[in-house]
Chains A and B, each alone.
Chain A
Amino acid sequence: MSSGLVWFCVVLGLGAGVVRRRSASVALVAVQSLLIGLAALGIGSGGGTPEPVAGLALLAKAVVVAALLGYAVARTRQPRPIGDDAAPALNGLVMLAAVAAVIALVPDGPDASQTALHGGLALLAIGLVIAVMRRATLFQVLGLLVIENGVAVVALSGERGLPTVVELGVVFDLAIIVAVAVAFQSRILGAFGTTDAEAMRGLRD
């Protein structure tokens, strides 16, 4: 993957973490996933060896997961977007701080472009911050997807990526997990009257 594409994916991740509406965030993560899938096929990647099987699987995942999340958004519409404890700007700052910390902590590698390694780690940090700081439960799924996209960025950029069998399995597993998470969304709304994670704080010791 080209450096420009890697950092564009990181910017999309940041955007997904700061936008207010779930639908906008789903769209940004879907675009991110599609770009990574296309890059795996060698389209618009600015070099690198095309990986047709992984690329097609990633594209299929992008489409299926976006459709599932779009369905979840439509099924769990609420009168107004769920507010967050922190302002979007503060969320963005926390994400940037986490990105800087993770990149500083993880050493450089001999067998991958540093940009891809740093981009993948940045997406890991962004995904974790989204999952922790955003209150709408769907954002926790989006955080997971951003982390998985970070994994794909690193895997596609080295001379040796993940074995194809494992990559296909990862895509399949992820689609199942997202499908289960989508099933949870309607049930959470039915039981709590909202999909705000703050409402789910009944289990405390």
Chain B
Amino acid sequence: MTDLLRVLAIAVPGIPALAALLCLVPGAAAGIDRILVATGVVGGLAGAACGAWILARGGDALGGGWYVIDAPAGLFTLVIAGVAGGSAALSPAYLARATRSGTGAAAARRYYATALLAFWAVLATVPFAGNLGLGWLLLEATTAASALLVAFSGGRSALEAGWKYLILTSCGLAVALLGIVLLVVSGVTSGAGIGSLDFASLRDAVPGQGGDLAAAAAVLIIVGMAAKAGWAPVHNWLPDAHSEAPPPVSAILSAALLPTVALQVWRTVEALSPAVGEDLFRHLLGGIGLASLAVAVPFLWRPMAWKRFLAYSSLEHMGVIAIGIAMQNRYAAAGVFIHVAGHAAAKALGFWAATPLLRYQPSAGRRPPRGLLRLDGTLATSVIVSAGALSGLPPSPLFASELLVIAGAVDAGAVAFAAVTAVLLALGFIGIIHVLIESVPGRISGRRPTGRRAMRPLQAACALSLVALGLVGALAFTLPDAALTATLLGGG
């Protein structure tokens, strides 16, 4: 059975990779929509099955060398499959409005589909990386395809956002790479070859091995990866890229890519803690998390375009994830686990709703949406579910996850830190609820969708997101004592 699981794990990135190649075949341009939808469904189901299987094995991990098939890999495979699969399947609706007919449009659709599927394929590989160097390479590889996608519309704002994203994240990852080299130079790694950077072998280092240089290397790795994860204060690209990218791409960037970078940070923290000590990471990541919350909250109070609002919400939620990783105990680990899953379901729905929202209410691209209830019931429901869940309003699983992360901070002895986190989250909650009150009721703006089929893709996405949020919520409070949580902390 384990061989079958390994095959499935290879198929997870393999399916979108093959589909990306298929898009390049001459004559495939006419069938791009079918390729996107078919890959979204098949690749999404394969990823979901693989992720669920891995999670069902509990703390039982496979690999342990340059690749690892463990509970975090299972969770992130599930998340990436759901978000990227949904985004691929919903892309034809975006492309229908974004590209006109003709040869140029066919080339643009091929370009979009190839880049999106290649991005998905690389991203789907990252959770299985059991090696710091390999993980870095894969994260860097996600940058090229996703930068092209951010700038897909070709407008001035999109080019500005894509350029900022490309340069800032590449510079950040270059700093992280220097950190990895310094780690090798410091003597923390043992042996030679690719295996010397395996998380499993880094974990074998004794306290103090590598001295101060190892600690400096760890700081450079975390700070460098923070630029890619969109954590403050190196988050400048995030609001621009998320708001300017096509909505299906924004969904992958926010709900899948950012948390997946955080997974690499999590694995690094867990592997290097024996050598450099937990306190360094607790202070560094805790500070980064709190800074992200503090930067995001004022923007959640300001009226702004729907996608830009979601982008600042991503900054807030990445802050919660950073604090959870920093605390390194079972409450916080369970909180991060729930938060990643719940945030993915809610945030992806929010971005998916942006395609019809911008079609029927174009002004939502410049200012907050309004009168959604009178505009369309599905659109209003999607925005309510997305923003309501992101606010942490019970029974959203994010309420439970934020509670668990705060409990983790208290358990770690950081009571004042937990209090500040709670206050910032409460302020963010009020801001998001205010957005809901402004957007849903009120006078209609824009034009109502016509035809029964117009909103069917969003109806399906909304139903799936609700099911996912319900399942994650049901799991929330059982997780701190589950065997799975031990694996999340490297004890599996």
Contacts and interface: CB of A to CB of B under 8 A. Distances in A.
B160 interface: yes
Most B Cβ at <10 Å: residue of A112, A128, A143: A112
B208 to A, nearest CB: 12
B184 A120 contact: no
B363 to A, nearest CB: 18
A55 B150 CA distance: 34
Interface stretch (A7-15, A41-49, A159-167): A159-167
Interface in A112-146: 112, 117, 120-121, 124, 127-128, 131, 137, 140-141, 143-144
Contact of B140 (A143, A160, A162, A173): A173
Contacts of B155: 191
Given A160-B196, A200-B163, A107 B171 contact: no
Interface stretch (A18-26, A60-68, A175-183): A175-183
Contact of A181 (B137, B166, B181): B166
Interface stretch (A28-36, A78-86, A87-95, A150-158): A150-158
A106 interface: yes
Contacts of B140: 170, 173, 177
B194 A150 contact: no
A5 B222 CA distance: 30
B180 interface: yes
Contact of A154 (B143, B178, B187): B178
A158 B185 contact: yes
Given A158-B185, A160-B184, A187-B159, A151 B171 contact: no
A164 B186 CA distance: 18
Contacts of A203: 157, 160-161, 164, 239-240, 243-244
B1 interface: no
B171 A143 contact: yes
A107 B181 contact: no
Interface string B172-213: 001101101110111101001110110000000000000111
A147 interface: yes
A163 B141 contact: no
Contact of A107 (B180, B212, B308): B212
A170 B143 CA distance: 13
Most A Cβ at <10 Å: residue of B171, B196, B211, B302: B171
Nearest to A161: B184
A151 B163 contact: no
A188 B147 contact: no
Interface string A176-205: 110111011001100110000000111101
B162 interface: yes
A147 B171 contact: yes
B151 interface: yes
A96 B301 CA distance: 42
A147 B141 CA distance: 18
Contacts of A107: 211-213, 215-216
B452 interface: no
A180 B196 contact: no
B178 A147 contact: yes
A106 B211 CA distance: 12
Given A160-B189, A191-B159, A141 B167 contact: yes
A162 B181 contact: yes
A154 B181 contact: yes
A59 to B, nearest CB: 19
A110 B187 contact: yes
Most A Cβ at <10 Å: residue of B178, B213, B299: B178
Contacts of B108: none
A169 interface: yes
B181 A155 contact: yes
Interface string B5-41: 0000000000000000000000000000000000000
Contact of B137 (A108, A166, A180): A166
Interface of B: 133-134, 136-137, 140-141, 143-144, 147-148, 151, 154-157, 159-164, 166-167, 170-171, 174-175, 177-178, 180-182, 184-187, 189, 192-194, 196-197, 211-213, 215-216, 239-240, 243-244, 299, 302, 304, 308
Closest 10 CB pairs of A and B: A166-B133, A107-B212, A169-B137, A109-B213, A200-B160, A147-B174, A173-B140, A163-B194, A112-B185, A158-B185
11 contacts: A110-B186, A110-B213, A120-B181, A143-B171, A151-B174, A158-B185, A166-B133, A166-B194, A170-B177, A202-B157, A203-B240
Interface of A: 105-112, 117, 120-121, 124, 127-128, 131, 137, 140-141, 143-144, 147-148, 150-151, 154-155, 158, 160-166, 169-170, 173, 176-177, 179-181, 183-184, 187-188, 191-192, 200-203, 205
Given A165-B133, A166-B134, A203-B157, 13 more contacts: A109-B187, A120-B178, A141-B167, A154-B178, A166-B136, A169-B134, A170-B177, A176-B144, A181-B167, A200-B160, A203-B243, A205-B299, A205-B304
